[in-house]
Amino acid sequence: MNLRIPGSSKNRGPALVGTGVVVFALVVLWQTTQIPVSPLYSKVSPTIFPYMVAGGLLLLGLALIAQAWRGEWGETDAYSDDQPTDRRSLGWLALGLILNVALIDALGFVIASTLLFVCTARAFGSLNWKRDLGIAVALALIAYLGFAKLLGISIGAGVLEGIL
């Protein structure tokens, strides 16, 4: 099968990336249909978030394919090969992931996720750590309460979760 994409052959790579995202979305969708749902769930089942993720991935993949077909991935791409790697940002991302994995069992979901968010915000250039901390705590609490209280799914009990 020969994939014909308007414009130069440079568009083939981005189109394949978009196609890969669409395929991944379909795999997530298929796997979500395999999750057993108890009849006890009346309004919200444990499959709602995976379905939302699959839908988002599908839309993203289709948008990537459309951009590739229109030739919008080109020389003006901000992430071209001639850009140096920002090792400091990469370090902040790695630190956030390592802290999350290392601390989620001991300190719980809220604290570990908060640290991950703050490190990720710093990696993307934010210098206002107090604002980032406030946003992170709010989002982590919402996520924890949504899973633990609304859906009844344990995602890591720790120091703060014991209070809630």
Annotate 70-110 with DSSP letters as a single string.
Answer: HT-SSTT-TT-TTSPP-HHHHHHHHHHHHHHHHHHHHH-HH
How many other C-beta atoms are found inside a 10 Å radius of the C-beta of residue 122?
Answer: 20
Q: Are residues 43 and 95 in the same domain?
A: no
Q: CA–CA distance from 35 to each of 30, 46, 50, 85 (Å)?
A: 9, 8, 10, 40
Cα–Cα distance measured from residue 75 to residue 11, given in angstroms and rounded to the nearest whole number: 11
Q: Are residues 25 and 63 in the same domain?
A: yes
Q: pLDDT category, 102, cuts 50, 70, 90?
A: very high
pLDDT in tens, 33-92: 888 877 765 566 778 888 999 999 999 999 999 988 888 765 455 555 667 788 999 999
Number of structural domains the chain divides into: 2
Q: Are residues 91 and 159 in the same domain?
A: yes
Q: Are residues 118 and 155 in the same domain?
A: yes
Token pair 């709602």 is found at 48
Q: Are residues 97 and 47 in the same domain?
A: no
Give which of 98, 107, 102 is closest to 144, Cα–Cα: 107
pTM of this structure: 0.56
Residue 117 lies in a domain: yes
Among residues 17, 44, 70, the one where a domain terminates is: 70
Estimate to the nearest angstrom the gap between the alpha carbon of 135 and the chain centroid.
17
Residue 57 lies in a domain: yes
Q: Are residues 96 and 121 in the same domain?
A: yes
Q: Are residues 62 and 94 in the same domain?
A: no
Is the torsion defined by CA of 85, 86, 89, 94 positive or negative? positive
Domain range for residue 138? 87-163
Residue 76 lies in a domain: no
pLDDT in tens, 83-98: 778 899 999 999 999 9
Q: Are residues 95 and 152 in the same domain?
A: yes
Q: Are residues 114 and 143 in the same domain?
A: yes
Q: Are residues 95 and 62 in the same domain?
A: no
AA identity, residue 124: F
Least confident among 1-10, 29-38, 83-92, 101-110: 1-10
Residue 21 lies in a domain: yes
Q: Are residues 123 and 98 in the same domain?
A: yes
What pLDDT sits at residue 10?
63
How many other C-beta atoms are found inside a 10 Å radius of the C-beta of residue 145?
Answer: 14
